[in-house]
Amino acid sequence: MDTFGEGLATPNTNVRLKDVITSAEGSPLAAGYMALDKGEFPWALNYDEIDIVLQGELVITRGNEVARGGPGDLIYIPKGSSITFGTPSHVWFVYVTFPADWQ
């Protein structure tokens, strides 16, 4: 997986990402893997996203709302959200976004 979000994450937080399905395959959805080591980083979404936790604990903070997910849990993040991805130790999850060309 590739390093992601350099300069956004809290110090000593390692964020890695690998896009697997993109619009290049003709898909209206995108999907990939993300891993995060202890810490957090902020992100603003101009797309809808579903995260499926594979290992560890994912903590999504949106304003006063906090969603926590462990292995097998799904978290939905609506378009227009300003969030913080975080974990108390580590997390590895699959993300699915719509639309695929969100940038």
| Residue 49 counted as domain residue | yes
13 pLDDT band, cuts 50/70/90, is confident
Give me the mean pLDDT over the 6-21 stretch.
Answer: 85
The residue with tokens 């060309």 is 101
| Residue 103 counted as domain residue | no
Range of the domain at 86: 2-98
Strands (E), 30-81: 30-44, 48-56, 58-62, 65-69, 74-77
92 pLDDT band, cuts 50/70/90, is very high
18 pLDDT band, cuts 50/70/90, is very high
**What is the tally of structural domains in the chain?**
1
Residue 84 near residue 42 (C-beta atoms within 8 A): yes
- Between CA 47 and CA 45 the distance in angstroms is 5
CATH of the domain at 19: 2.60.120.10
- Between CA 37 and CA 14 the distance in angstroms is 5
- Report pLDDT for 80: 96
pTM over 0.75: yes
